[in-house]
Each structure stands twice: as C-alpha cells, then as structure tokens.
Structure 1
C-alpha cells in the first residue's frame, strides 16, 4: 500500500513564496458612539428582557453600577451570546453596551486565545450593527475600516493553515487515500476538485499513482477556482510536477467559478469533459463554496448525474445539520484558537495569518447580511454553516464507505510524526466521517461516498 503521508514540501514552499502577502492590518474598534434612533428610549432599550438565561437583570429600572457588576461577573462566551441575541432582535442600546464592554475586556496587550476569538466575534457583531442601522446612525470607531480580504492574503493564510495545523493535511491525506483505493486497477483517472486553491492536495496522490505496480494511469485533474491567474499557476505547477514524476499523460483543466452558484453552470458532463472508461473522483474540500439550500440540492443531483466512482467530502464539524446555535460555532472557533495558542509561538507570521485573516474572515462571514438564510423557516444569523451535504448525498442514493485501517493508521501517524501535541486527536468514525479534533472537540471530518 502506498503511503501518502509525506507530500513534496518543495512544491508547497515554492507555492508559498509565490503568494507572499502584503496585508494591511485592519484597525480594531475601541469605542462606540451612538446617534439615538427615533422611537427608542434608553429606558426601553435597557428594560427589554433577554430570552433564555441572561447575564443582565431584567428589572425595568437598573442602575449603571448593577449593570456593570453583572457584565463583569458574566463569562465572555455568555456575553457574546447575549450580544448576538440583542443584535438579532434590534435592541441597539443593549447591543452597543455589550459590544463596548466586550471590547474593553479583550483589549489588553496580553490577550489569550479566548480574548482573541471574542474580539473577532465582537467585530463581526459591530459590523452587523452598522450594516443594519446604516452609517448615518453611528459615528466614531463603530464604523470599521474595510475588512476586505484580498485573494493573495486568503491564499497565503490557507498555506499557513496547512503548515502550522494538521487539519488541512489530515483532510488531504484521508481523502487521497480513499481516492487511491477507489482508483485501484484503473488505467485512466479523472479528479474533479471543487475548490482546488493552490492544488497542494494532489502532488502526494500523483506520486503514489506514479509508483503504482503495473504502471501509472493517465491522470486528469479538473480544478475549480475563483481566480483565473491562480488557476493557471496551479495548473503549471502540477504539470511541471507530473513531468518530474515521469507522468507523460497528465492533463489539467481550469474551471472558473467566482461564486458558489457558478458550480451549477460548470458541473455538466460536457463542461467537465467526462469520458467513458475514466475512473471519476469528485473532491469537495475545505473551504467549501457557500450554496443556499436549494442550490445544494441541485449541486448534489448534478454530482449524481456524473456517475462518480467516489465522492470525498471534507467538512467542518460545525457544519453538521444538528448544529444550529451560535454558541456551537463560538466553541468551534475557540478550540481552533486554543490549538494555535498551545502549539504555535505568538510571534509566528503563520499564526497571525491563520488567526487574523483565515479565521477572522470566517467569523466575520457569520454575521454578514448576505449570510442570513432561511432554512425551513429557521432564520439563522449564521452564514457559513448549515451545510447539508451528507443528508443530500443520502437522498440522492449515495452511501458512506468506511475508511480503511491503513487510512486511519496513516492519520494517527501524521499526528505522531508532525504534530506531537497532546491536544490533537483522531476520534475515530462518527458513522460517516473520520474525525480530527482538539481536546475532545471534533473540528474536521472526512467522509467517502459511493452510489
């Protein structure tokens, strides 16, 4: 059995050098100034009740000292939840009070992982308030500087995430092993990567196929991406690597999909050049394109129509259909920040890239206006997050296949050799996925599906 554990690091280093960022550090918010909204008095705003357990008393008249004491006693996690509830309910004065307090509590020079993740959530909530009220109703530093992340910054942060945490390498390793086993005996193989990024997943699989008994198959990779320039560069790098392995019959096809819905336009047999006799693997990887629920149905039906030999799915455990609360998302990100704090020096540029670009971007996305989607009548102020891939795959006749013992042992070896921290763990399968987590919290999962 070929091992996929050791990817060609020279390829990753070369790609990282090509994507060095020049990020502008976004300014943090330090204070709030509010222009009174018509019809909302201080007494009304302060006197409103919270739903559920509240950190702030619900008396009609509450002294500033009592409110201040209640805020100080409350946990940061509870206050973030209260703030999100207030923002979702349009209780603006309470929202501003909580945002201001949370900013003060997390503004110290020696911030720990909890402080940092809270600050990103608070910035997301503050941005949501501005988007709801409009800039004419808020002043001062509640108006954030542009939080737009450039494609270069995003690509660099992805490489940093791949380098300093095991999650991306675990996902690639486990998905590749399932694909390698599905391709056994095939003379012509086609991989469709629904979000190829820089293509770092595929050199180890290409290397394993090149060394296969009986000779290497003909290999085609169709890569979906949002940037033509990066797609072209990725194709050139993979083609060069294939030549170095002596793979004369290698093809790369770039597929441009700027938005999630573009996937529906390019996922047709003619667009993908589906050929009779090819073993076909479809890889849905991290990060996933964001599709509204109806488009997810359409996408999975299209995948089914392509008759793949295997579909590999890498997903965030935050995305499970039974998770609907912002608290679960908060704990997911807190575990990620805890893992970085425990394993990567605070001065590491890679850690800064991951926390302040990749993870911050995801957290800010949770609160963006475009992320409010109605799922079966449930309005969620969460945009990333309620993905239904597994349920939809089952509805279309797909069945999960168990990961081989070799795949599981390879994942454990990855942690033992490269990430020896006691916090990371392989949690076994949940019925569908092989899971990786941090200190009893499952964070990433990989599953494989066949019809």
Structure 2
C-alpha cells in the first residue's frame, strides 16, 4: 500500500462503510474519554469533532488510504485514526485513553513493517510517548525503551544517505543555487556573499562552489583569448559564506569540508564564517559594498516552529528585520509542507489545539516515508537507518515542540479548536518590504531534469514539479497525488536599505 495523502476528493460509499467500521473499532478510545463534568465533556466533544474532521481530510487526501485498509487491523487509516485519538485524549486530560490509543498503535505498527504507514505510525507513537504531549504510561514501546538516541555520527550518516536517496533536499538546494547564480550574474560583480541562516552540514554549497569555479574559468579563458599580451587575467570569483548553526563543532566541521572541496576549484577564492545562532542578537553579519549579497532560507527554523501564531510571527519578523538590514539582492526561501509547523501550507492560527498542526505533520512524514519506500528496496538497511536516525529524529523534535506549545499556551481559548489557516510567510515577507520574483525557466528546467535523473529509483514519475502563483513565482515538489512536500520562492527588496551590518 502507498500511503500518499493528497487533495483528491473521495465520495465513494466504500470509504463510508470502512469509516463506520473504524469508528466501531476505536469506540473503546472514545468511551474512556467521556466525563461527567459538563465543561470537560464539552471540550472532549469538541476535540473528538476536530479529530473526525482531521480524519475526513486524511481520507479525502488519498482514496487509496481508506480503500486499502485491510481487515487484519494493520491499515494506515486505522493507525492515523488511533494517533489522532491519542492526541485528542491527551488534550482533554484523559491520560488513560491517550495511552490506550498508543498501545493499540504499537500493536498494529512496526518499525520494520513492510508498509510505510506502519513504520511512520510507529515513530509517531514513540515520539508522542517520549514527549509531554501524551503523558507516558507505565508501559511504553519496547523498541523505544531499548533504543538509544542516535549519535552525532549516526545522524550525519543518515542525513547523507537520505540526501543521496531522495530528491527532496537535492531539489531544494539545486533550485536555490540556480537562483543565487542568476542573481550573482545579473549583479555584474566578482564577489558573492551568501548568508545561510541554517547551514546545517553545508551539503548545499559544493555545487555552487563548482558552478562559480567553472564560470570563472570560462571567463578567464575568454579574457585570455582577447588579451594582446599586456593585459591582466580576469580576477578570480570570490565566494564568502556566512553560515549560522547551533553547534560550534558542527560549524567547524562544515567549514573544513567546504574548504577542502573549494581548494580543488581553480579561479575561486573561498571563505567561510560560522556563527552560532543564539537568536537575533547572535553574531554580527557584515557585508561588503562590492559584493552581491544573497540570503538563503532553506527550511528555516522559524518556519518550522510550532509556537502560537503571534509568537511565531514575532520570531519571523525579527528574522526578516535582520535580513532586511543586509540589503540582499535575493532572499531564497524553501519551506517544508506541514513538517511540524505547517511550513508552506499551514500555521496554527488561534487554535488552542495541536490537532491541526499534528495532522499536517503526520501528512508530511507519511508522504516522505512513502516516497522513500519507493526509492529504496523493502529490505534496505539504509532505509531503516534513514528512518531511525534522521526522519525519526525529526518526528521526535516536532512532537517535543508541540508539547512545549501545550505547556506554554495550553490554557488558551477552550471553545476554539481551529482548522489550519493559510501561512503568513507571504504577508510577513511583504510587510518586511520584500516582493516575489519570478523563477527563471532555467530554474524550473533544472528541477525537472533532477527529478528525471532520480526517477529510476524513486517510483518512476512519483515526484513532480508543480508551478504555482501568477507568473510562476512559486515552485513545489509533489509526491504522486499529494499537493506538495516543499515549496520554493525567491524574494527581493522593494526599496533599498541603508544598513550594512546587523549586530
């Protein structure tokens, strides 16, 4: 079964029949959530109604999810239903019902299951049990109890394997680099300064280094062919990357890797500066008047936060103010769809419930697990390592952030269990004085070429490029019938900033 959750509408009677059966199967979860207290009971009813709306959306996302649910209880729809039931029960304060739903997920799911729905459900169940979102019961998953957190080396290796196996990160990085190169070429300068607000392992930058080196070599060759013998060779291209990260050791390792790679690229002067990101007051980013400045926002932390709408907007606004102070020629943004935050697709709004954001996260990772299932063999130890040490860690981080939200804001408006609302990134960008730029045909062609190159091992035409907005100002990566996994957009200033540094 392929658990792909898209925006198709399913009105078949078969799905309705299976829905009724699923509700009967999980009635024990709903029964133990009932309560004599009027106010508490009203909140439970609202949460259950919200859960059913989320389930209806999950069903509508892909008719195959409901149609393929087997009678043996291992179907993806039942697992999704149980996960949502656990979260709804936890939010109502019923730890017993939350634990009962999780135990049922553990009974049906498996980290080594042949179905990606089983595997993603197992990781979500363990992440919920480990977080404060669902209070840990006296017994938890045997696998979770015995498994140690992945080491830094294991996480790096898993990230590397995922980068090679799946086109998701590669498309994000290559698309951003193509836009950066075009902004640099249009600026007519020989110096490029990239400010990367989440440099991570630095995997994005070797392709940019190589592209600039090749362009500089071609420029030098043209200069020499027109030189009468008295002129100087063309000046080498200068690339400076300011990378922000949370770990000093990781930043040093990233610098060493990039410096080694750049040392083999002629006609390029390379410099890397790592800054530990402690928030708006971390480090001083200085830019050169003679350099073309671009800002890289690939999966920015602010976009993936599960904070309240107002707090998230404050953090994003502070980030954008910092960016504006650099007066960049281009700001390139890549957002994940629903990975904890609602990235490109969704945000919390004024909801006091985590159900909408939890559902968005579940949809995203279900699609990623499904796509990885197609990219690697069913018995692949590499796939298991990726799911355990990279995707599983991301799921744990997302669930922990939801628990932080509940701790800080769980006492909000109990009468309001909102649906996800449209992202405010576009509005915040525009309020910060930025406007979208049209993505070039070369950028789109390169993305399609990358998918064509990767399609042999990843489900044929499972991945697809989706152009959105007026004039092609947004490009998304979709999986099968799903709307999108990630979305890329380019931005530039509408008016010039006079600040040249932010300290």
| Whole-angstrom distance in 2 between the partners of 1:322 and 1:156 | 31
| Whole-angstrom distance in 1 between the partners of 2:33 and 2:270 | 68
C-alpha distance after superposition, 1:74-94 (max 9, x if no partner) = 722222212211111111221
Alignment partner, residue 255 of structure 1: 275
Task: Give, in angstroms, the shift of residue 323 of structure 1.
Answer: 4.8
| Whole-angstrom distance in 1 between the partners of 2:103 and 2:282 | 46
Alignment partner, residue 428 of structure 2: 392
Query: 287, 295, 306: which is aligned to 1:282?
Result: 295
Aligned: 1:52 with 2:49: yes
Task: Give, in angstroms, the shift of residue 409 of structure 1.
Answer: 0.8
Task: Give, in angstroms, the shift of residue 126 of structure 1.
Answer: 2.0
Query: 387, 396, 401: which is aligned to 1:364?
Result: 396
| Whole-angstrom distance in 2 between the partners of 1:376 and 1:278 | 49
Query: 199, 221, 238: which is aligned to 2:258?
Result: 238
Flag the 1:423–1:105 CA change in 2: closer, same or farther, 3 A: same
C-alpha distance after superposition, 1:259-278 (max 9, x if no partner) = xxx141236xxx22211121
Instruction: Report the 3-state secondary structure (helix = DSSP H, G, I; strand = E; otherwise coil) of the residue aligned with 1:249.
Output: strand
Alignment partner, residue 452 of structure 2: 416
Aligned: 1:328 with 2:360: yes
Instruction: Report the 3-state secondary structure (helix = DSSP H, G, I; strand = E; otherwise coil) of the residue aligned with 2:317.
Output: helix
Query: 448, 470, 485: which is aligned to 1:443?
Result: 485
| Whole-angstrom distance in 2 between the partners of 1:142 and 1:279 | 52
Contact 1:365 1:371 (8 Å CA) reproduced: no
| Whole-angstrom distance in 1 between the partners of 2:485 and 2:34 | 42
C-alpha distance after superposition, 1:102-134 (max 9, x if no partner) = 2111149644111111111212222235x765x
| Whole-angstrom distance in 2 between the partners of 1:276 and 1:301 | 19
Flag the 1:189–1:309 CA change in 2: closer, same or farther, 3 A: same
Query: 320, 330, 349: which is aligned to 1:300?
Result: 320
Task: Give, in angstroms, the shift of residue 194 of structure 1.
Answer: 1.3
Instruction: Report the 3-state secondary structure (helix = DSSP H, G, I; strand = E; otherwise coil) of the residue aligned with 2:487.
Output: strand
| Whole-angstrom distance in 2 between the partners of 1:427 and 1:345 | 27
Contact 1:191 1:281 (8 Å CA) reproduced: yes
Task: Give, in angstroms, the shift of residue 72 of structure 1.
Answer: 9.1
Instruction: List gaps (5 residues or longer) in structure 1.
Output: 1-40, 56-68
Contact 1:223 1:254 (8 Å CA) reproduced: yes
Contact 1:155 1:197 (8 Å CA) reproduced: no
Contact 1:266 1:272 (8 Å CA) reproduced: no
Alignment partner, residue 38 of structure 1: none
Between 430-439 and 193-202, report the one with greater CA deviation.
430-439
| Whole-angstrom distance in 2 between the partners of 1:173 and 1:180 | 10
TM-score, normalised with respect to structure 1: 0.76
Equivalent residue pairs, number? 383
Contact 1:77 1:118 (8 Å CA) reproduced: yes
Instruction: Report the 3-state secondary structure (helix = DSSP H, G, I; strand = E; otherwise coil) of the residue aligned with 1:76.
Output: helix
| Whole-angstrom distance in 2 between the partners of 1:353 and 1:211 | 36
| Whole-angstrom distance in 2 between the partners of 1:72 and 1:230 | 40
Flag the 1:266–1:274 CA change in 2: closer, same or farther, 3 A: farther
Q: CA RMSD in A?
A: 3.3
